[in-house]
Each structure stands twice: as C-alpha cells, then as structure tokens.
Structure 1
Amino acid sequence: LVVAGTAYPSVVSSIYLISFIILAMMWAFHVKLLTPAVALLRAFLCAIASFQLLMLYLYQIQHIQDLIPKESIYTRLFGLTPIIRTNCTTPHQLLLYPGLKWSVFVEPSGVFLLLWSMAVGVRIDGDNLKTKEKKQFGKKMVIRLKTEKSLHGSCWSDIIHPQVWSVTYHSWLTFVLLIWACGLWMVKERSWYTLCCSPVFTIYGIPHCGTAGGNIVVGWGDLNESELPTVINQTDGNKLYLSAFGIRRYEYPFLHLGIQILYLCGFWLVLHQFNYIRKHGGSGSTNGGLIDGSFTTEADTDSWAYRLGEYCKEMLSRYWIFVVIGFHIAIATEGYPSGTKIIYFALFVLSTVSFVISWQFFRKSLQLYWIVLVTYTMIVLGLIYTYQFQDFPKYWKQLTHFTDQQTLVSSSITNPFELMLSILLPALFLLVVVLQLQYFNDRFLEVNDAILSIDGDGHTGEEGSAEEYEMGELNSGTREDDESWLTRQCRKMCPVVIGSIKTAVSLFIRGMEFHLWRLVFITAFAVAAYKVSAIYATVVVFWVLMLPARVTHRSLYIVTTVGLSLVGMAIMFLQLHFINLQLPYNCTVTVHVGCCCCLCGLLFVQQNMSRWIGIEKMNRNGIFFNHINGLIAILLMISFERVISLRQQWRSKWLKEVRPTVTAFYPSVTWRDADKGLVEFCKYFANFAFYKFGVEACFVMSVVTIWVRADMYAIIYSLLLVIALVLKTRLSLHRYWKFYSVALIILLVWQYLICLGMPPVWCVANQYPWMKLGSNVTEHDRLVRWMFLPDYLIVQDSTALIADFFQLLFVIAQLFVFEHENGEWTQFGGDNRYLTGADLDQVTLVGNPRKNFMLKKARSVLDQLKGFTFKYMIWVTMAMVFVAGTTRISLFCLGYLISFFYLLSRHQELMMGAPSRLLLVWNVVLGYNVSVITLKVALQVISCVYIETLQQRACSVVQLLSLVCSKRASYGLDAPSTTDQTCELSYTNAGLTWDFICFLFLLTQRRIFSSYYFLHASEDLKISMQLAAR
C-alpha cells in the first residue's frame, strides 16, 4: 500500500495511501483486522488496483495517447503516464519515451504487487487463522510481557521522531513538532506524557504527511506553478511562500513521502502501546513499573545480558559527561563565531573554571548548569529554526534593533543540506544534555558524593559498597541447567576480560597520577611554541619558572584556567563582524651590509599588533576550533589533571588506599626482587627506570636537543653537557644539577621571547643592533638564523624549542630524584651512588654484593639476558663505533676507526683487567664522541653561513672536515652541489645522527662497566681463558 500510494502521487494512489492510514490507525487502536469491513476494503482495493493497471495498459496504445495527450491535466491527475511509444513504420519495435523518472516504473510494479498480495489474502481461510490465533495465545502473552519492558525505549523514539522530522523538513508545521518534543524532554515523567500525547502526535502527523509535508497534492500529476502555485502574491506586494508550510515540489516525491511515513509509523507504534496500557488497566506512570522501565523479573536479573546492560548503564552514568563536554566544545567552536556560540563558549569556560577551582561548588551547581544548558539550547534551536523563514530576519532586527553585522545568529541558509546541519547539531546536543540531566546526573553525583568530605572521617560501611561505587563490575549469577555452550563460555570469559581491563586501566591511571602534570606542561608549551604570541609568552614564562616547584602547580593551574578562559572569550568576541582588529604598523627596515645601505622594504601584514598579541581575526570561511584549539587543549588537560587528582582523593577516602611513597607502578616490588625473575625485573624496571638511569636519560636528551637545534644555543648545551660528563661523583653532579636547571630555564624563556620579538609598534622608531651583521644580505640572514636572534624579516622556528623543553623536563625530573634518592627511596629503589673504577677494583668475587648469575646450574631467562648484556653488549657497541666511522670520509670518522681498532685489539685485556683501566679507556672514547658532536655543531656556523666562501678558498678543509649544513632548507642551501665541481660533497647532512647513536651505545656501555654485575662477567671470561689455556 505504501509503495503503490507514494511511488507516483495521483488521485488513484491517494486511495491506497488513505487505506494504509486507516489500517494503521485500526492496528494502533487494537481493532481486529480480520473483519468483514476490512475484507470489503480489500476487495475494493483489488478492484481499484485492477482498474488502474488496466488503464495504464490501455494508455500505452499509441491511438489513446494521441486521443488523450500526456500533457492533459486529467492524465496527470489520474497517474496515466505514457511509457511505450509506438512507431508506425516499425510497430514491432519496443520504444520508450526518453527522460522518464525511475518512479514511473516503480508505480505499476507496486500496484501489481499490491493486487497480488491482496488476491492471495482473499484465498486464505479465515477459520484457519482464528484457530492458529487461539493456539498462539499463550505465546502472545509472553511477547506482551516482554513488550511491556520496551515501552520506555519506544517513548524515547516518539520524542526523537518529531525532532528528526522537524530537522529533516523545515516548515512552520514541523516547528510545532519541535517545540512539542522539547517540552516533553523537560517534564519529569516524560514516558507517561509521551504516551498520553501519542494520539495528538498521530492525528497531527497524518494530515501533515498526507498533504503539506508529503506533497501529495503538489505531486499530483506533476502540476506546474500555474495549476497549483507554491508562491502567492499578496495584496501588499509581498509574496507568501508555501514552502514555509511544508508545501514544496520535489523531483522524486516518493522518497520524501516514504521518509515521513516512516516517521509516522513511530507515532503509530507508541499509540499502539498506549492503547495496550489502557486496555490492560495501566493508568499512570506508577502502574506496576510499566512506564518507567522498572518492571523486571527474577529470571531477567539472573541473565548475563541483564547484568551486562546494568554494567553499561553504570559506565554511561560515569562517563557520559565526557560526551556532553565534547558536544559542548563542538557546538561552541564550529564554524565562524556568532552571538549564540559566544554564550555557549561562556558556559563552557564557566563550568571549566568552577570545576578546576572548587569541586564542591561545581557539584552543587551541576544540576542548574544542565538546566540552563537545556533551556538555552531550546531557545537557540528555535531561534535558528525560525531565522531561516522568509522575512523573519527582518522581524528579528526590528525586535532587537541590531544591524546586519551585529546579528547574533548566522545569516539565512539557502542550501537545504547546510540548513539541516545547522539545526541538527543543536538538536543532537539537546538530546545529549537531556540524557545526562534526566538519566545519568543523579547517579553521577551519587558516585562522586564522597569527594565532598575529603577532610572528614572515612567511610565506615562495608567494603562491598565501595567496590560497587568504584567499578560496578558484572556480578556472577546462578548458572542455569539449560544454558548453551556460548553462554557458558561468555560466563567464564567475562571475569577474565573484565579483570584484564581493570588491570590495564588501573596501571594507566596510576601512570597518569605520576606523570600527568608533565603532560599538562608539555601540552601548554607545545601550544605556545606553535602559536607564538604575547599571551602565550606569559604562559611560557610563568609555567617554565614554576616547573621545578611542584607545590605551586595547583595555583598555577587555577590562574591559567581563569586567564585563558577570559582570553578565549575575548578572542571569540573580537571575531564578530563589527569589530576591526587590524592594527598594522608600517616599518621601514634598513639593513646595513658592509659599506652600503640597502632598503629592504615596508612591512604591513607581517607587523600586525593583533597577531603579536595573539588576538588576530580568523578567516571568514574558517572554523573557530582550528583558531583556538591550542587554548582548548590546555583547558582540557588541566581539567583532566583535576579529574585524576579527585579520583585519587576519592579512592583514598572510600577504599582507604594509601598513596605510595615512591612513584611506582608496583609499590610492593623493590630492588631486592629485581633478581628473582624476568617478570619481577620488568616490574622493578617500570618502577625505577628513571631513578636508576635518569642521568643517562638526561644526557641522551641533551644530545637530541643539540642534534635538533644545531645553532649557537646547541654549542651552549654542548658545553653544559661536557661539564656534567666530567663530574665523577654523585654529590658533585647533584650540586651542578641545580645550576644546570637554572641555566636551562633562563635559556628557554629567553629563546621564546626571541621568537616573539619586540612589539610591532617598536619598529617604527627603533631597530635591532645586529642589523649590520654580515657582508651581504644572504650572509646577514643566515647569521641571524644561526645565532637565533629576533628580526623583523626573519621568523625563527619556534617549534624547535620543544626539544629544549623536553631537555628541561628531563633535567627537572632528575633534580627531583637527586633530592629524594638519599632518603626513603633507597630502601625501595636501592643504592644509587656512582661506582668509580677505584671502587670496583677493591671488590672481590666473594665480596660482590650481587649474586653470580654466570655460575648458576639452572639459568633463567633473566640470567641469560644479563649474560648477553654484560658479556657481549660490548661487541654491539664496537660495531656502532665502526659504523659511525665508515659512514663518510672525514677527519672525525678517522678518530672513530682508530678507537674501534684499539678496542678490538685490546678487548680481552680490557675485559679481564682492572675496571679502573677499562673505564679510563672508555671515558676517552666517550669524550672523543662528545667532542666530535660539539665541534660539528660549532662548525655549523661555517657550513651554513660561510660555506660558499670556504668552498672557493679552502676546499680541502671542507672535504677534510665534511662540512655540510644540517638544515639546508632553512639557510637557503637547497642544492648540495656547487659551481666548483672539485669541492662537491655528496652528503646531505653533517652526520650527527650516527654520532648520536654512537653516544647512546657508548653511554650505555659505560654504565654496564660501572656495575657489580659486570665483575661476574669479567670473572667468567677469565675462567674461560684459563680453561682454554689448558
């Protein structure tokens, strides 16, 4: 009936559609369909379908088509469409009219299927149907009991259907549905009120679908504008567009009719359930728990599917708020800013600030916050919906007295797809917030209720209730005798899977508790590095200075959250059309080159004050989220850190968890357990990797920073690294580390200020003193880049400072280790003092505090790994030294080769000799490696700035030292070849990569030689040599 009634709208097809609506209403009111009246209707429809098929068949005759042309209004009204065209010269050839729509072919097919199905239904014996119906009465009662538990979800769909209908088809009639649905979302017992409103929904939707919304009348026979106008000229000269009332012309009305009938089926479904409740005595929302979905049986609660559903509900109650936050950010920052989005963003930052400052206030105001958000979203949804109607923007302007530029909402949207998207996002956000408000908020507040009294007494209830608040895991139920194999396997695997997930989540959160503050700092600095401005310069200065003082981080987070929230609001407000942020300054920059003076030009766009401050205007066609994503990332990371902190307080309050003294994933594993097995060693390494090898990690990070920077500041970092490597004792390194940290902090802040430069207004009357550097313009630009100086023309690469920040972060972490390693950390992580060569010389085989893993009869996997590391790792290191010496031909590589052959020739002597001599030789090789890195970085000023002059006057020096610029593109050295073919080098980099790899292995090997375990490997080698000599 639906296909036949909507495929090609006409007078005849409307009979099918009306019949379908009548039958659907009978089903919704629980009227029996096997009655004589329905049989009479079926016979009538059979006659109509047969008559229509006959008329369609006869109309394909060419003579009848000539007699009644296809342009006639009667043929179009009754759906007589010519499909076959007959050519008198070739009467046996089948010809079709060109340009026919596919719906023309669907119409006769649908009518034929309708006729066939009804004819088959006439042949079915009604008595047999009644007998079968009586036999299946018991089964239907069981199905009804199950249907009762699905009423709640069906009422949900009945609220969502009007919203989807109104979003899909924009008109005043569907706007009523939208307002109606929003009102139902706000009431408390929405399920019962939705059922009560289902008759009205259905009665309102039927004419809307049949006439205006479905365009039956407009679709009849493709009536044109003169026969059935959609625009009416009024007496005052204005035009009334009937599209505002849902009357439109579609190319394929079948699709739109089908979609709206599908919406109407949802209303019929709820109306059917409403009449079912009335028929079985239900009269209210408290009737047996039918409406609120609380009707369950004991068998249902024992099923694993029910417990899984309860577990999912518990998880949604805890984490659905994150979905709301994501939608809130999306609706506030999508597209170009407007007045409505500014209020959304203000609500977002207000909730973020309140959460970071005070959890108690945030929790108490959360209910009000959701109500405000829902109410405002409804207002915005109605505002956007009505603003798209014709002449309605004029009414809004008259009401608010705003100009076109000051209008708070977006302009009128003519594209139907864009219109649907503009309405769909607020509608989805409304749905998400309502779910949080009505279904998850109470449970969310109940779970987090303990945080309100962190300083009070602990929980005195049972431990089971705390566990229930913590995870809400699946409870094991009683097994049924007739459960299937799949059910049994699921019952067995669920605890294993849940346990694995809980362990992984627990380790992840524990790691966040230890290291999340570092991620917050990394995020803040990375955002500031990618978007250099005066606003982020303030963040960099305070955050870098406060990095070592962890007690100030909480206050720093609060101040930053408030400040960035105000900045975000200001940036969003300044994007409005009527605000002009262009603050250009015309700067005449004079560059002195040698004895001459060159005028480089006027700067207009580059020297913009708003860009320097960080409040520049975005592109009109851009997305505001891309303009402010860094600021939002900082706010979210601070909020996430606050979540982890509150969770830690929650567990301490309810579960009586004591925070570990050391930042360890496995607090029970200490240095005494490291030699028990591979698993214990891995746990110990996860606990104290940085505690034991933090200094080496800082050295490696320093070399990485030197490798990335390769400029003047890399030389400073190299000198600081050399000083740290020279120090022999842990105490002297601790004293130097404080100076090291302060120096890195000052250098990092200074370099960021260099990237920012002076304000553009300063360039009007002042210039930098180093504008006279260099003998020409190219040399001047390269010197400014290598020395990392501020300049009006050259923008320094601020993202390179991220490596500097990681270096500082590692150094600060090691400083924290230095301050705590001589206290109670020693009993967990073990002694952390340096072992010099003299100390190792005095250790005997019996006096070695570490067990001999080489002489065990049954060696474990851990013992075998130790044997490879302490006995054969030197060969891998020597191989890296050899590779570093053979990657290119230069004086530096020659030193690597000499070191390799010396170590190769004296390998056994060094391994079996005194540890002090071995460490002395190894320190010489390591010192040579660091010297090569320092010299290569220092020679970058020649390789990148004066390379052309050096190639012409000292080509042998270029080839001997293999002088190649590491950042050729930055210094304008794209082509590796030169005009002088005799001085050409095939290398594209300075070889610092292999120097870094060699440094990594040499440093690791030095730590191996400084261990008690290495003495066992050395003793085993001596024994092997003695046995071989026999």
Structure 2
Amino acid sequence: MAQSFLSGLIHILLPLVLFNGSLLQFSIVSFIYGFLLLILPWLGTINSKNIQTRFRSFILVISLISLLAIIVQIIFQSILLANRPYSYMLNNYTKITQILRYCGLEWLDTFSDIRILCVIFPDIVIFIVSTICFVIIQYSLYNSRSSQSNDFQTSTISHTTNISSSNSSTTIINRNNHWSRLLSEVRHIRLFIEFIIVGFTAFVKPSLINSIYFILFLIIAFMWSLSVEFGRKFALIRALLVVYTGIYLILFYLYQLSFFQEVLPASFSRNLFQQKVQSNATTIQSIKRRSLINTVERRNTFEQYSSSSQCRWSLEQSNDQTWQEQIIFIVYSILGVLERQSYFLSLIAMLAWSITFHSLLTLVYLLLACLLWILSDSRKWCLRMSPFFTIYGGILLILQYISGFRISFNQLNFAYDRRTMEQIGIRIDDFQPAFIPLLLKSFYKMFFWLTLRQYINEKRLANTEVNEARRNSIPNDSYPRRLGQWLINLLTKYWICVSCGMLLLVSIQNTVVIYRIIYMVFYLFFIISFQISFGFWRKTAATFYLIILIYSMLVLIGIYIYQFEKVHVFLSEKFSIQLFASIGLEVVPSDVLALKLLTPSTFLVVNIMQLYYFHSGWMNLISMSRVVKHMNEVLVN
C-alpha cells in the first residue's frame, strides 16, 4: 500500500510541483527544478532496489535544494526588512539586482499577491512533497527489512495456501491474460499518440530546431507505410529524440533570461530558430507543449518493446471476450475496412488537397485523381501509383514547412514575384503561422501513407490462400460484419436519391450558365427516360453515370485552370470575358475558391460512389424478375 502511494506521489504529484516550480519564475533555482524534472523519468520503475538506491538519493537532493532555496529567501527578505525603507539598499545596484533575480531573489513590495505566491510558494510546496516522499521511502525500506526476517514462516504458510487456491489462481491468470492483450493494444494507441505529438510539435512553429521533429515525423510515417517493423532501433531513435528534446528545453528556458538575450540579439538566424522573448503565459504554454512530448517519449524508452506487440489484434472473436476487447475488435474491424478502401480515400484526399490549396503543384493531384477514377480498375492503378503520389506529397509537405519559417518574402531571391510564386504553390506568408496548412496537408497525406501500406502488404501477401484466410478471418455472424452489411444495403437503396438530388442542386445553383444548363439536361433525361421506358433506363444507367463523371471532371478542371492568372489573361486576349462568364468560367478570389469548387467536387464524389459501389446492387434490387415477383405477391395479397 505504501509503495503504491509512493508511486502516485513520484509519478504524478512530484512532477507537477517541479513543473510549476520551473515555470512560475525564471531563475537558476527554477532551472534546477526543470532539470530534475527531466531526469525523473530516467530513474526507471519503482521497485525495492530503485527505491533504495536511485529514488532515495534523488528525493533527498530535491529536498535539500528546496530547503536551501527557502532558507536563502528568508535571509534575503529579512535583510531587506532590516534596512528600511524596504529594498532601498538595492536601488542603485543594477548589476547586483540582476544577479539576485537570476538566483530567484527579488523584492516583493511592487509585486501583486499572486506574483508573491509565484515567487515564494513553489519552493515550500516542493519541499513538503519531497519530504513526504522521503519519509515514505524510509518507511517502506524499514518494512522490507522487517519482512525479510519472516520469510521462513511466510513460505510455510504459502505452501499450504497455494494448494487450496489453485482454482482461484487460474481465474486470476485468465483475467491477467485479458488485461495483457488490452494493454498491448493500448501500447499501439500510445505509439500513435506519440506520432501525433511529434508532428504537432513540428507544425506549431516551423524552424531549424523543430525540423528535427518534422524529419522524424516523416521518417516514422514512411516506415509505417512501408510496413517496416519498429524494433529496438526505433527505441534508440526515441531515446536520442528524448535527449534532443531535453537539450532544446534547456536552451529555450535559458533564452528567456536577459543575459542570453543580450548575447544572442535579433537577427535573421534567430528568426530561423524561432527563438524570441515571450511573456510568462506564452512561455509556459510553449514549454508545456515540449514537456509533453519529452515526458511521453522518455516514459516509453525504458519499456520492453517485444515483437509480439507488433502483431495485429486477432480478428477471431472468442466467447470469453471482455467488453474492452469487443470494443477493440469493432475498432479494428472498422480500421480494416478503411484500409481496404484506402485507395478511394486517397483519391478523395487528392481532390481535397488540390481544392484547398490551389496551385500548379496541386493541379497534378486533381488530374491524377480524375485519371484514376475513370480507369476500369481504378483500385489496382491507384495502388500502383501510391509510391509516386506519396513521395510527391512528402515534397509538397517539406516545401510548406520550409515556407513556414520566420522569413519574409523579400529576404528570398525568387525569380518571380509573390503572386506568381503563390500560383506555383510556394506561399511565403511573412511570419504568419503555418500550423493550419501543415495540419491539413498531413491529414490528406495520411491516406496516401495508408494506401502505400496497403499496396506493400498486398505485394507481400500475394498468395491467394493467405489472402483468403485474411478475408475470412472475421466470422460471418460477427457484429461488425452484420453492421457493415446493413449499412451497405441501406446506402444501396437510397444513395441514388442523393445522387439525383445533387444533380438537381448543381443545375439550379446560383446564376444560370451554360454548364449548369447541361446538368439540367442530364437530369431531365434521367427522369424522363425512367418514366418512358424502364428497360431502356436500366440499360443506359451505367453509361449515363460515366458520362456525368467525365463531364463533371472537365467542368472542375476547367474552373480550376481558369483561376490561374496567366491562363485567364491569355484567354481574355483571344476571346471576350462575357463569353467565358456565360459558360460559367470566372475568376474567383482565392479565399472563396475552395467553397466554389466544393459543390462540383462533392457531386463528383457522390456519383463515383453511386457508379462504383452501389450501382450493381441497385440494379439487382430493381431487376425485372424481382419486380415481377413483387407484383405477384401484391396481387396475391
């Protein structure tokens, strides 16, 4: 009981008080608290050996440092009170007062009550918590020594007890097996959280120092997409990242002191490193963000990374599954479906990327998505092209990260002006945050990595027997399969209504132009042919949807390309602007271009889903034999 309580104090309460003590003020003492906070996760797990050696010495050092800080603070404030008026003796010594502030000694007459608490209170709290931890350590060591004298009696009693409790121990072992499987999956989730934290740390402030996190983010993502196992080498990389993060935290903390600000003045290189003087609130937020990644990474460095933790969750449902395992089973089933349909998600991501970030570089994604969609076997070609568009997306992500540095456009000697570079796809926002663009592009690229992983796995599992075993690994009566089948049947029945509704919406939206009139012609043809001849409508439905898709792609590409300034100027010289306006081509401001392209893009995706996913099922539902059978049943009733 004492050891569990001690574990909570050391792993939860002590880091919190050290964290607050290092951030509430900037001084040498608070720097020592922060350094001790970084050392704490490296001490290992709490057991009798580590408590006796590492933790006892570590807690003793914290207690002595906090006690020394309290004593020095009391002496300093007593001297100031003894020489009245208060702090009069330090008014003329700026160098001495600056050194005293570095040591955490300040006069309190000009401070608010909250500021006084921030200066005095952390040392007292750290001393109290560390003293309690040290007392509990001494108590646990005393109990361990006294328990060793009773080992013989305990072993005799346990021998008779083990015989009578064999049945209960079997139940406990089974329960532990459930929890071990659950913890294995939690470990997978934890690795994903680490990946997100590394990317988040890199995206918040692009800089040369943060580029290490960005490079590691890309390396981990590409390793995962290539189905490379994360072994002990990855644990070594994490350990090196922890050391780098700790050094960065120390440098970032020291830079908040005025001495280091005088040594490193503002310059172009400083803008690259994103180091700047901040107020207490913003500094605390930034250091909290980096402390988060540092703590998570260090905590995982000492854990054994077994090869069994890399295996997928078994898709075979057993009768003794707990509710936690059932939830994980459902989640993994959904993820398996998403992985098998990753090619479609990648095509949507290409379309969304090109629309969200209009440029010549993203036009490649729009053309590639349209080309792959109209191919007969789009899945096969999308998987084959996955290495290309994944690497290309990585290049675009790197360009976005570099353009997010604190560099103005005038500091870079481009051959073209700002507007032309933005049309190409290189946007220098002059110290504007690049977090949102990086986050969106990384979200789109996540589907590219998933598709590449699917392609690599299918190449490795080319054996049909293995593929068939994997395909049949989920029982037919399992809840995820039944839920998925019900959802597919529902969408097969009613998705055509969504498709027709979108066709009508596109044709009557906003002003009447030629390309919307053509959409209205398609809509009327679809409805009238259904009413005149049902057989003719069934035979031409697939061809109709294919023509709609090709036409929608041409409209989308035409609107997209017309937004480029060079294209617009060239065409306006050859033809009148009114002609293009009547067709439906007009220049739209960049901030509303994504909204203008959203409707035709959504219509394109809806009709693609109807043609490739639900059309055959819908045709089976409305086949002539089923219609005749249904009519006979109605007449009989």
Per the normalisation by structure 1, the TM-score is 0.38
What is the distance in 1 between the residues matched to 2:631 and 2:571? 54
Judged with a 3 Å threshold, the aligned counterparts in structure 2 of structure 1 residues 201 and 64 are, in CA distance, closer, same or farther, namely same
| Other-structure match for 1:58 | 254
Aligned-partner SS, 2:511: coil
What is the distance in 1 between the residues matched to 2:468 and 2:526? 36
- Contact 2:404-2:432 at 8 Å conserved across structures: no
Query: CA offset at residue 311 of structure 1?
Result: 3.8
| Other-structure match for 1:280 | 461
- Match for residue 217 of structure 1 among 383, 393, 402: 402
| Other-structure match for 1:403 | 577
% identical aligned pairs = 24
- Match for residue 421 of structure 2 among 241, 248, 254: 241
| Other-structure match for 1:430 | 604
What is the distance in 2 between the residues matched to 1:115 and 1:252? 23
- Contact 2:461-2:467 at 8 Å conserved across structures: no
| Other-structure match for 2:616 | 442
What is the distance in 1 between the residues matched to 2:428 and 2:531? 51
| Other-structure match for 1:658 | 635
| Other-structure match for 1:674 | none
What is the distance in 2 between the residues matched to 1:362 and 1:145? 38
- Match for residue 380 of structure 1 among 546, 551, 555: 555
1:938-973 per-residue CA deviation (whole Å, 9 max, x = no partner) reads xxxxxxxxxxxxxxxxxxxxxxxxxxxxxxxxxxxx
| Other-structure match for 2:447 | 266
| Other-structure match for 1:6 | 203
1:735-794 per-residue CA deviation (whole Å, 9 max, x = no partner) reads xxxxxxxxxxxxxxxxxxxxxxxxxxxxxxxxxxxxxxxxxxxxxxxxxxxxxxxxxxxx
Aligned-partner SS, 2:416: strand
What is the distance in 2 between the residues matched to 1:413 and 1:124? 55
| Other-structure match for 1:160 | 348
| Other-structure match for 1:83 | 278
Note the residue ranges of structure 2 that are not aligned, 5 or more in a row.
1-197, 318-328
Judged with a 3 Å threshold, the aligned counterparts in structure 2 of structure 1 residues 52 and 146 are, in CA distance, closer, same or farther, namely closer
Judged with a 3 Å threshold, the aligned counterparts in structure 2 of structure 1 residues 202 and 107 are, in CA distance, closer, same or farther, namely farther
Judged with a 3 Å threshold, the aligned counterparts in structure 2 of structure 1 residues 9 and 137 are, in CA distance, closer, same or farther, namely closer
**Counterpart amino acid of residue 386 in structure 1:** I
**Counterpart amino acid of residue 427 in structure 2:** I
Higher helix proportion (structure 1 or 2): 2
| Other-structure match for 1:114 | 293
Judged with a 3 Å threshold, the aligned counterparts in structure 2 of structure 1 residues 203 and 137 are, in CA distance, closer, same or farther, namely closer
1:163-222 per-residue CA deviation (whole Å, 9 max, x = no partner) reads 1222222122222112212222222333333222222221111111111xx2x22221x2
Judged with a 3 Å threshold, the aligned counterparts in structure 2 of structure 1 residues 152 and 122 are, in CA distance, closer, same or farther, namely closer
What is the distance in 1 between the residues matched to 2:630 and 2:296? 69
- Match for residue 231 of structure 2 among 25, 28, 34: 34
**Counterpart amino acid of residue 403 in structure 1:** I
1:825-867 per-residue CA deviation (whole Å, 9 max, x = no partner) reads xxxxxxxxxxxxxxxxxxxxxxxxxxxxxxxxxxxxxxxxxxx
1:306-335 per-residue CA deviation (whole Å, 9 max, x = no partner) reads 345334323322321111111011111111
**Counterpart amino acid of residue 252 in structure 1:** P
Aligned pairs (5 A) from 1:753-772: none
Aligned pairs (5 A) from 1:190-201: 190-201=378-389
**Counterpart amino acid of residue 225 in structure 1:** F
- Match for residue 228 of structure 1 among 412, 419, 435: 412
- Match for residue 124 of structure 1 among 298, 303, 308: 303
Judged with a 3 Å threshold, the aligned counterparts in structure 2 of structure 1 residues 114 and 315 are, in CA distance, closer, same or farther, namely closer
Query: CA offset at residue 398 of structure 1?
Result: 5.2
Judged with a 3 Å threshold, the aligned counterparts in structure 2 of structure 1 residues 304 and 52 are, in CA distance, closer, same or farther, namely closer
1:350-392 per-residue CA deviation (whole Å, 9 max, x = no partner) reads 2223223332332222222111100001111111111222232
Judged with a 3 Å threshold, the aligned counterparts in structure 2 of structure 1 residues 433 and 230 are, in CA distance, closer, same or farther, namely farther
| Other-structure match for 1:370 | 545
| Other-structure match for 1:186 | 374
Note the residue ranges of structure 1 that are not aligned, 5 or more in a row.
85-93, 97-101, 451-458, 460-468, 470-649, 660-666, 668-1030
| Other-structure match for 2:481 | 306
- Contact 1:202-1:264 at 8 Å conserved across structures: yes
- Contact 1:152-1:191 at 8 Å conserved across structures: no
What is the distance in 1 between the residues matched to 2:285 and 2:454? 33
Per the normalisation by structure 2, the TM-score is 0.60
What is the distance in 2 between the residues matched to 1:186 and 1:282? 29
**Counterpart amino acid of residue 635 in structure 2:** V
- Contact 1:4-1:110 at 8 Å conserved across structures: yes
What is the distance in 2 between the residues matched to 1:421 and 1:349? 27
| Other-structure match for 1:356 | 531
What is the distance in 1 between the residues matched to 2:218 and 2:543? 44
**Counterpart amino acid of residue 632 in structure 2:** L
What is the distance in 2 between the residues matched to 1:39 and 1:202? 26
What is the distance in 2 between the residues matched to 1:376 and 1:105? 54
**Counterpart amino acid of residue 396 in structure 2:** H
- Contact 1:652-1:658 at 8 Å conserved across structures: no
What is the distance in 1 between the residues matched to 2:569 and 2:605? 30
The alignment yields a C-alpha RMSD, in angstroms, of: 3.3
Aligned-partner SS, 2:634: coil
Judged with a 3 Å threshold, the aligned counterparts in structure 2 of structure 1 residues 389 and 231 are, in CA distance, closer, same or farther, namely farther
- Contact 2:204-2:435 at 8 Å conserved across structures: yes
**Counterpart amino acid of residue 47 in structure 1:** V
What is the distance in 1 between the residues matched to 2:512 and 2:313? 61
Judged with a 3 Å threshold, the aligned counterparts in structure 2 of structure 1 residues 385 and 448 are, in CA distance, closer, same or farther, namely same
| Other-structure match for 1:207 | 395
- Contact 1:159-1:181 at 8 Å conserved across structures: yes
In the alignment of these two chains, the number of paired residues is 425
**Counterpart amino acid of residue 265 in structure 2:** P
Judged with a 3 Å threshold, the aligned counterparts in structure 2 of structure 1 residues 35 and 226 are, in CA distance, closer, same or farther, namely same
Aligned pairs (5 A) from 1:771-810: none
Structure possessing the higher radius of gyration over alpha carbons: 1
What is the distance in 2 between the residues matched to 1:405 and 1:323? 32
Query: CA offset at residue 433 of structure 1?
Result: 0.7
Aligned-partner SS, 1:313: helix
What is the distance in 1 between the residues matched to 2:631 and 2:468? 33
Pairing 1:175–2:363 present = yes
- Match for residue 521 of structure 2 among 325, 338, 346: 346
Judged with a 3 Å threshold, the aligned counterparts in structure 2 of structure 1 residues 396 and 438 are, in CA distance, closer, same or farther, namely farther
**Counterpart amino acid of residue 264 in structure 1:** K
Judged with a 3 Å threshold, the aligned counterparts in structure 2 of structure 1 residues 390 and 305 are, in CA distance, closer, same or farther, namely same
What is the distance in 2 between the residues matched to 1:259 and 1:282? 37
1:504-553 per-residue CA deviation (whole Å, 9 max, x = no partner) reads xxxxxxxxxxxxxxxxxxxxxxxxxxxxxxxxxxxxxxxxxxxxxxxxxx
What is the distance in 2 between the residues matched to 1:370 and 1:336? 25
1:48-81 per-residue CA deviation (whole Å, 9 max, x = no partner) reads 32332222222212233244333x1111111211
What is the distance in 1 between the residues matched to 2:444 and 2:493? 32
Aligned-partner SS, 1:300: coil
**Counterpart amino acid of residue 387 in structure 1:** Y
Aligned-partner SS, 1:658: helix
Judged with a 3 Å threshold, the aligned counterparts in structure 2 of structure 1 residues 287 and 384 are, in CA distance, closer, same or farther, namely farther
- Contact 2:556-2:601 at 8 Å conserved across structures: yes
Question: Bigger CA drift: 303-312 or 1-10?
Answer: 303-312
Aligned-partner SS, 2:476: helix
